[in-house]
Chain A
Amino acid sequence: MIKEFNNIKVDKVGIEDRINRITKRSLKRESKLKGLEMILSMIDLTTLEGMDTVKKVEQLCYKATHLHNQFPNLPSVAAVCVYPNMVRIASNSLKESDVLVASVATAFPSGNATLQIKINDTKEAIENGANEVDMVISRGKFHSGEYNYVFDEIAAIKDVCGENSRLKVILETGELGDYDHIRMASEIAINAGADFIKTSTGKISPAATLPITLVMLEAIKDHYYSTGKMVGMKPAGGISNAKLALQYLILVKETLGNLWLDKHWFRFGASSLANDVLMQIAKQKTGFYQSNNYFSKD
């Protein structure tokens, strides 16, 4: 199976050309508004800082559930994404809402720890109430050619997650090198049992980009055609404005189709995107360009 992974070649020029065309598309007002609402429902509101405090996480959870106070009937965000030690705080704060709790695990963001530590990290996150786990792959092992190790590790973490907790596998594409590697890592993750594949930790630049996302979406598509199984996608890091997020939606629709246009299969990992989307929705509804001053900062 691993041999097969080695032979994948991505058409770099073709990928970039498709992105070029997608970014020049214009959207009608009504589709834009629907798109913006969809983006809002797909956001994993994220805080992953060394300086996160209990209050910061509580504030973020409050924001997740009160984002749309100004405009009722807007969807809430999909999830709040925090470090494992903050999971209990987040799950308590979000008890009465339908916002999920996602936790990064497996020695995020470097992923440099033994398998046993990673398994415990994941277990603890789930026991504390995480609905979803965002793991990082071992990039060092990947670059050393130990693809089996990477595969087995993902499979082991998925075992811990079981059926009830969905597993997002962070490839950290900024550290993987070219598209061929990204495609290969995507396939390893998908075949090892990932429910979602995710671009980045947000700690490395470049984080998510449109071409990288397209490469990963193509891997999901091929997997779907050959097995009939759907896998989710989560670009994360660097998506801070609504215009760019809309381009991601177009990309998903044109690559995977309407089935994936749902928070169950597509997510944005972002901290400031939600504010910009709200500002754009307010602009569409009132006709006035908006100011950051009137939207919560955290």
Chain B
Amino acid sequence: MSERIKVLKTYKIFIDGKFPRTESGRYYQLKSKDIPYANVCLSSKKDLRNAVVAARKAFLPWAEKTAYNRSQILYRIAEMLESRKTQFIDELTIQGFSKKDASKELDQSIDRIIYFAGWADKINQVFGAVNPVASSHYNFTLFEPMGVIGVLSSDESPLLGLVSSIIPVIVSGNSCVVIASEKYPLSSISFAEVISNSDVPSGVINILTGTKKELASPISSHMDINALGLFSQKIDKQIFINATENLKRISSFNDIQIYSDDFDSPYIIKKFMESKTTWHPVEVDFTKTNNY
């Protein structure tokens, strides 16, 4: 009997809950000791455009889900990731990680998802406020999701960096378009498979592989993206200039922050939320000496 030919996975991009190839048909090759082990899509700005359309469509239904339900769905991502741990560890070792580092990366990633999942139905209790004002108004502040967030994921941290750039963004109801690590793209596409098995509605998370050099400019200038999360170190000044066009808020993080325990913080979620303050008139009965 002849030797069995190994079936290699085709790593495709993740848009609107589906796994299409890039419309450009381009790819780049990943090699280990000069032996190629994967072909990865080199996404174009048209893929980005399609991803933003999907993310925009997914945004409102996702934001309108109950916070408790979003929390459950994020928890489900962690469950799915836990059950596929060995696959991810193997994939990381192919990409040059030691078994120990890979295993640690997985544990941290899963724990981080659990951490942020818990915040979905608590964020407004902590940051929302009833504000004392001098007029007869009931004045209160609530935090709301911003819309579609463009994310440039960490270059050096294949999984923890990806998880840290997606989960705090979507927990509050945002949808996102993520440009994965150029150096370690495999985990991001495998993570997309986890997402598609986790009840996350199509389009809430979209993941593209390719170069930041090519995609950073259209993602920062796209008028339908409301804010940017920069988790990558390779940021060109032009991105900040482009982002002014529709006043995108930019939040930057580096790899040291990502690996630190301090990243487990609700303030990260708050960076991708907008506060809304409401002045609600209340009737005051002046015939009474006090209103209690």
Classify the interface of chain B: helix, strand, loop or mixed: helix
- Whether, in the assembled complex, B85 has its beta carbon less than 8 Å from a beta carbon of chain A, the answer is no
Chain A's nearest CB lies how many Å from the CB of B45?
Answer: 8
Is the pair B245, A288 in contact by a Cβ cutoff of 8 Å?
A: yes
How many contacts A-B (CB < 8 Å)?
Answer: 27
Among B52, B56, B218, B224, the one with the most A-chain Cβ atoms within 10 Å of its Cβ is B224
Is the pair A289, B49 in contact by a Cβ cutoff of 8 Å?
A: yes
The A246-298 residues at the B interface (CB cut-off 8 A) are 287-294
Chain A residues whose CB sits within 8 angstroms of the CB of B221 once the complex forms: 287-289
Chain B's nearest CB lies how many Å from the CB of A73?
Answer: 22
Chain B residues whose CB sits within 8 angstroms of the CB of A291 once the complex forms: 222-224, 246
Q: CB-defined interface of B35-50 with A at 8 Å, one 1/0 digit per residue?
A: 0000000000100110
The B44-87 residues at the A interface (CB cut-off 8 A) are 45, 48-49, 52, 56
The count of chain B contact residues (Cβ–Cβ below 8 Å) is 13
Q: Identify the closest chain B residue to A287 (Cβ).
A: B221
Chain A's nearest CB lies how many Å from the CB of B131?
Answer: 28
Q: What separation, in Å, do the CA atoms of A163 and B117 have in the docked complex?
A: 69
Q: What separation, in Å, do the CA atoms of A150 and B242 have in the docked complex?
A: 59
Q: What separation, in Å, do the CA atoms of A293 and B224 have in the docked complex?
A: 8
Interface size class of A (residues with CB under 8 A): under 10
Q: What separation, in Å, do the CA atoms of A291 and B49 have in the docked complex?
A: 11
Q: What separation, in Å, do the CA atoms of A292 and B222 have in the docked complex?
A: 12
Q: CB-defined interface of B223-251 with A at 8 Å, one 1/0 digit per residue?
A: 11000000000000000001001100000
The B99-150 residues at the A interface (CB cut-off 8 A) are none
Q: What separation, in Å, do the CA atoms of A288 and B48 have in the docked complex?
A: 12
Among A288, A289, A292, A293, the one with the most B-chain Cβ atoms within 10 Å of its Cβ is A289
The B174-233 residues at the A interface (CB cut-off 8 A) are 218, 221-224
Q: Identify the closest chain A residue to B224 (Cβ).
A: A291
Q: Identify the closest chain A residue to B49 (Cβ).
A: A289
Chain B's nearest CB lies how many Å from the CB of A132?
Answer: 34
Specify which of A289, A290, A293, A294 is in contact with B218 (CB 8 Å cutoff).
A289
Chain A's nearest CB lies how many Å from the CB of B177?
Answer: 11
Chain B's nearest CB lies how many Å from the CB of A223?
Answer: 40
Q: What separation, in Å, do the CA atoms of A288 and B222 have in the docked complex?
A: 6
Q: Identify the closest chain A residue to B218 (Cβ).
A: A289
Chain A residues whose CB sits within 8 angstroms of the CB of B45 once the complex forms: 289
Chain A's nearest CB lies how many Å from the CB of B221?
Answer: 4
Chain B's nearest CB lies how many Å from the CB of A138?
Answer: 39
Chain A residues whose CB sits within 8 angstroms of the CB of B48 once the complex forms: 289
Chain B residues whose CB sits within 8 angstroms of the CB of A288 once the complex forms: 221-223, 242, 245
Chain B residues whose CB sits within 8 angstroms of the CB of A287 once the complex forms: 221
**What would be 9 A-B contacts, judged by CB atoms less than 8 Å apart?**
A288-B221, A288-B242, A289-B45, A289-B223, A289-B224, A291-B222, A291-B246, A292-B56, A294-B223
Residues of A participating in the B interface, judged by any CB pair closer than 8 Å? 287-294
Residues of B participating in the A interface, judged by any CB pair closer than 8 Å? 45, 48-49, 52, 56, 218, 221-224, 242, 245-246
Given A288-B223, A289-B223: 18 more A-B contacts, CB < 8 Å: A287-B221, A288-B221, A288-B242, A288-B245, A289-B48, A289-B218, A289-B221, A289-B222, A289-B224, A290-B223, A291-B223, A291-B224, A291-B246, A292-B56, A292-B224, A293-B224, A294-B223, A294-B246
